[in-house]
Structure formats: structure tokens, C-alpha cells
Amino acid sequence: MLSRRHLLAIAACVVLGGPAFAQEKSIVVASTTSTQDSGLFGHILPLFKDKTGITVRVVAQGTGQALDTGRRGDADVVFVHARPAEEKFVAEGAGVKRYAVMYNDFVLIGPESDPAGVKGTKDIVAALKAIKEKGVAFISRGDKSGTHQAELNLWNAAGIDIAKDKSAWYKEIGQGMGAALNAASASNAYVLADRGTWLSFKNRGPLAIVVEGDKRLFNQYGVILVNPQKHPNVKQELGQQFIDWLVSPEGQKAITDYKINGEQLFYANASDRGA
């Protein structure tokens, strides 16, 4: 007959996941606030766990911060949207291989009253020039995220050196997409947003999409395994399982199936070699 001490030891193994039982299968994914705030992870991660038993713990940050988290070895996978930065991450040996996963687009959000007079145009560069010339309030994430990098590139395409030309009309908040939209709603300002977060955003107030459809607003996402040769703590096998699922027909369908009010937020394109 087992002693009380032996019974307690067995119970501890069951509850705490002791040596007689496998540790919980989990990975850390450093990703963007847009994938989190849009609700995408809430849709696809339970499906992945049901398939594999792997729990995904998401650290939602701007793309720049997410890549830095990967560089420190504090994540197993990075899932972000700034291709030049992603390719640099792999080239410097911080990541193993970049996989294209999905895309959506950026949209310029602004007051329905449209004080800059840009609503309906498909020319994002012309819209930004008008906002700057009229000194209309603009909210920038200012957080080195993929959206922030895209915004800075668009100011540059408009021939505006925002670091020199900004003034009281331009406000950097250093926060994620949801917070930037909240700030724009509260201050009746313009803001660049990814469409997915905008569609899931509840506190729209006086805001609406004012510019969309410019090819320069394309927004591609990629996923990368953090290099286990640099960081032996990286869960290589489990992380690669997550990546393989994302780019598989099953994972791509899960992404495609995520909709809000019948509108698709992301478009799977893992099969596009040029993405």
C-alpha cells in the first residue's frame, strides 16, 4: 500500500507537471499589436492548440520591439509586418527563415468632417501633403512598429521630412494601434491604421476611412523562427510547428475565415513566393 508521502508526491507530479509527466507545450510569439487588437489571434490560436496541443503566449508589441525581443532570445517566433526589417533580422542571423503568411492594407482614418479635404482620394501622398499644409491634427504611433515605419515611409514619399517639419499638429504617442485610434477619436485627428484593427475597433466616434486603395498602402506579414543556434532556449520544434501550421492549407484557411460583420480582415498568401 502506498504511503501518504508517496501519494502526495504523485499528486505533486500531476499538478505541477513533474518529471513523470511532460511539461506543458507552449511557445512565446512576439507579434504586432495589430494581430492582437484585430482579434486574429483570438480566432486562430485555439484552432492551433486543438490541432497540436501547443499553447501560444503572445507578446504584442510594435514590429521593431518584437524583433528586438527575438534578438534577445525572449521569444521563440516573431510574427510581424515590415519586410525590410524582417529580412535584416534573418540576414544578421537572429532568425532562421522568413515565411510570408498574409496581407491586408493600411487605411488613412480621419474625422468624418474631413478638415484636410482628402476624403475619397486614393492618393495617400497627396492626402498627407494636405494634412501637413493645413496643420490638421495627426496621431502617429511613434513606436517603431511596422505601421509607424510605413507611415514614415509615406511622409518621405510625400517629400516631407517629418522629423524636421512636424509641429503641434503632429503628435507621437509611443503606443499601439488601438491606443492610436483612441487618441485620434478623442482629438478628432487623422491616423494611419491597418484595416484589421480598424474593422475591430469599437470606439470610432467621429472617425471614418478617408483614404484607401493606394498600392503604397499594401501591408504584408511574415513569420520567422528565432535562431536556436544563438539562443539554445528557443523551442525550435514547437516554434516550427506553429510556422508550418500558419502556412499550411489549414492555417491559411483559418486566417481567411476570420471576419468581422462579414468583412475579411486578412488575406492568406503563403503560396506567393514574392510576398
Q: Model's pTM, two decimal places? A: 0.84
State the pLDDT confidence band at 33, using cuts at 50, 70 and 90: confident
Residue with the larger pLDDT of the pair 3 and 230: 230
Cα 96 to Cα 75, 100, 120, 257, 273: the distances in Å are: 13, 14, 42, 29, 17
Contact 235, 76 (CB under 8 A): yes
The C-alpha cell 510556422 sits at 243
Cβ-based neighbours of 52, under 8 Å, separated by 6 or more: 25, 241, 242, 245
- Which one, of 221, 251, 233, lies nearest residue 52 by Cα? 251
- Which one, of 146, 143, 177, 144, lies nearest residue 39 by Cα? 177
**Which ranges of 33-172 does DSSP label H, i.e. alpha helix?**
33-37, 40-52, 63-71, 83-91, 124-134, 146-157, 162-165
Domains and CATH numbers, the chain: 22-103+220-268 (3.40.190.10), 105-217 (3.40.190.10)
pLDDT tens profile 157-211: 999 999 998 899 999 999 989 999 999 999 999 999 999 999 989 889 999 999 9
pLDDT tens profile 94-132: 999 999 999 999 999 999 999 999 999 999 999 999 999
Cα 92 to Cα 79, 89, 104: the distances in Å are: 17, 6, 27
Residue 23: per-residue pLDDT = 55
Q: Could you say which DSSP state residue 271 is in?
A: T
